[in-house]
Structure formats: C-alpha cells, structure tokens
Amino acid sequence: MEHARAHGYPVPAARAVDDTDIVMERLDGPTMLDDLGRRPWRIGRHAATLAALHRRLHTIAAPPWLPAPVGDGEAMLHLDLHPDNVMLTPRGPFVIDWPNAARGPGAADVAHTWIVIACSAPTTGMYRRALSAGGRKLLLRAFLRRFDRVEIERHLGTAGAYRLANRTLPEPELRAIRHLTRYGD
C-alpha cells in the first residue's frame, strides 16, 4: 500500500503497529458497489473510474519482492480491484483491501476484475440475485470496452486459476469461474 501511495496512487495512509496489525486512515464515503446499488444510473461513470484506477496502478513499477502469481511483468497489481474495494470519498476514489498485491502484467489484473464482476453474486434472495446479474453485465460491458479485450482474454485462464485457488468462494461462483475461463463470457 505504501509503495502505491508513495507513487501518488489513491490509497489510505497506513502504518504498521506490529508484524500482523496496521492502523489505517479512516475514509468517509460508500464503496463504489454500495453507490451502484443506490444509484445504478452511475454505471458508466463508475466503470470509467474503475478502468482509470487500473490503468493508473499499472503504470507503477512493482517492487521486485512482490510475488508474480499471474505471470511475468513489472506492473503493480491489486488482484482484487473491483467496486467493493473502491471507497468514494469527498477527496475522490480510494482503493482498499491490498493483501493480494503483486507484480505482473496489468492485463491479468483487469482479467481478474472481469472474473470477479462476472462471477460473484449475492447468495441470498432471488430478487437481489436477478438485479445483481443485470447490473453486473452492464457494469462489465462498460468496464471492458475501455481495454483491448483480446489482450485481457489472453489472461483469463491465468487469472481464473488464481481466483479458483481461493477455497472460500461459494461453489456457484467457482462453477461460474470455470465456465468463464474455459469458454469466454
């Protein structure tokens, strides 16, 4: 986080208290996902912001000590940069939740976000699931049109394997990831 912050990326200030705990700057505002739930007409604006955050992050050279779980490359990756990890504050958007930070090809980070948006869904309530599915498709389409889709598709398999290694995901999401990464969307 501090590496990204030192390069001007919008990350909350943090300081280590000990080997396992940090104290982080408090951010006021909703997550992008919460804002989309209240104001779905902002899908285009939020997709553009999310894409810009990816592009900006990928211009930062990652420290060589970061792992490279999704392929060779020098770009700083978040590997969980999606609407629920973007806080919308009066000072602008801030990216939170950095335990997966890595180095590698920026396109793999975008592919991972594609997988998260396309495959994650509420696990309860038929109405919430139906609304979520429609909104996710619109958001994903608006997000992906800001990138070279062929380049991003080349990284879907690797990003999918990385995401599938998360054993805490619900089985429907795991099935959706396998389907997407095997057959496209």
Query: Could you tell me if 163 and 116 are in contact, meaning their C-beta atoms sit under 8 angstroms apart?
Result: yes
The set of residues, in sequence order, having a beta carbon less than 8 Å from that of 138 and lying 6+ positions away, is 43
Residue 56 tokens read as: 């900006």
pLDDT in tens, 45-55: 999 999 999 99
Q: Domains in the chain, ordered, with CATH? A: 27-183 (3.90.1200.10)
- Alpha-carbon distance of 162 to 36, in angstroms, equals 27
Name which of 58-62, 119-123, 143-147 the model is least confident about. 119-123
Q: Taking 80 as the threshold, does the pLDDT of residue 167 lie above it? A: no
End-to-end CA distance of the chain: 32
Instruction: Provide the pLDDT confidence category of residue 15 given band limits of 50, 70 and 90.
Output: confident
- Mean residue pLDDT across the chain: 91
- Alpha-carbon distance of 43 to 143, in angstroms, equals 9
Burial bucket for residue 134 (CB in 10 Å: 0-12, 13-18, 19+): exposed
- Give the residue with greater pLDDT, 2 vs 9: 9
Number of H helices and E strands in the chain, helices first, is 8, 6
pLDDT in tens, 99-115: 999 999 999 999 999 99
The string of DSSP letters for 6-65 reads HTT-----EEESSSS-EEE----S-BHHHHHHH-GGGHHHHHHHHHHHHHHHHTSBPPTT
| CA trace torsion 100, 35, 155, 95 (10° rounding) | -30
pLDDT at position 21 = 83
Residue 148 tokens read as: 């070279």
Angle at which helix 106-119 crosses helix 171-183, to 10 degrees, equals 130
Does the global pTM surpass 0.95? no
Residue 104 backbone zone (phi > 0: left; psi -120 to 50: alpha; other: beta): left
